[in-house]
């Protein structure tokens, strides 16, 4: 079922707001700014999907969502790590990342298939295993 781009944008806005409220609460409890580290796994992303009309609409949506996150929640992200990127992802990333500020873009790491050691610098190995990345 196609929910439409507007509904997805609305969902992301609500998600960001909820996450922001929770992170604010944790920051007050801990006495330090709490930020999130996000891992996006692109294993299985096919070029045919990206080039389809749905894929192009998806890229437009990702650009809008990233821009919204950057404008309204700039300090919520500590780092975004994109793993198992297909070879064509560089082209896709250029189209998506053009909306990011230099400061936000510096928080993004794109890693291919050999990502475990990079993730292990920031994420406990037990947590990585729970995320489906056993060593």
Rounded to the nearest 10°, the torsion over CA 119, 46, 132, 30 is 50
Q: For the whole prediction, is pTM greater than 0.85?
A: no
Q: What is the C-alpha to C-alpha distance for residues 112 and 52, in angstroms, rounded to an integer?
A: 23
Mean pLDDT of 11-30: 92
Token representation of residue 67: 């821009």
Task: Quote the mean pLDDT of the chain.
Answer: 87
What pLDDT sits at residue 26? 95
Beta bridge partners, 79, equal: 37
**Does residue 134 have a pLDDT over 70?**
yes
Q: Residue 33 pLDDT > 80, yes or no?
A: yes
Mean per-residue pLDDT for 42-51? 85
For 79-108, how does the pLDDT look when each residue is reduced to its tens digit (9 = 90+)?
989 999 998 888 888 888 888 888 888 999
């Amino acid at each position: 079922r196609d929910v439409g781009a507007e509904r997805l944008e609305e969902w992301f806005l609500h998600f960001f707001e909820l996450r922001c409220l929770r992170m604010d609460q944790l920051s007050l409890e801990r006495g330090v700014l709490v930020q999130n580290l996000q891992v996006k796994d692109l294993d299985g992303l096919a070029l045919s999907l990206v080039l389809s009309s749905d894929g192009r609409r998806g890229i437009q949506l990702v650009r809008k969502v990233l821009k919204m996150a950057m404008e309204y929640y700039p300090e919520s992200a500590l780092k975004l790590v994109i793993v198992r990127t297909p070879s064509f992802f560089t082209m896709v990333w250029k189209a998506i990342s053009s909306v990011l500020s230099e400061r936000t873009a510096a928080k993004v790491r794109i890693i291919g298939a050999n990502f475990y050691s990079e993730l292990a610098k920031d994420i406990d190995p037990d947590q990585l295993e729970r995320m489906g990345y056993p060593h």
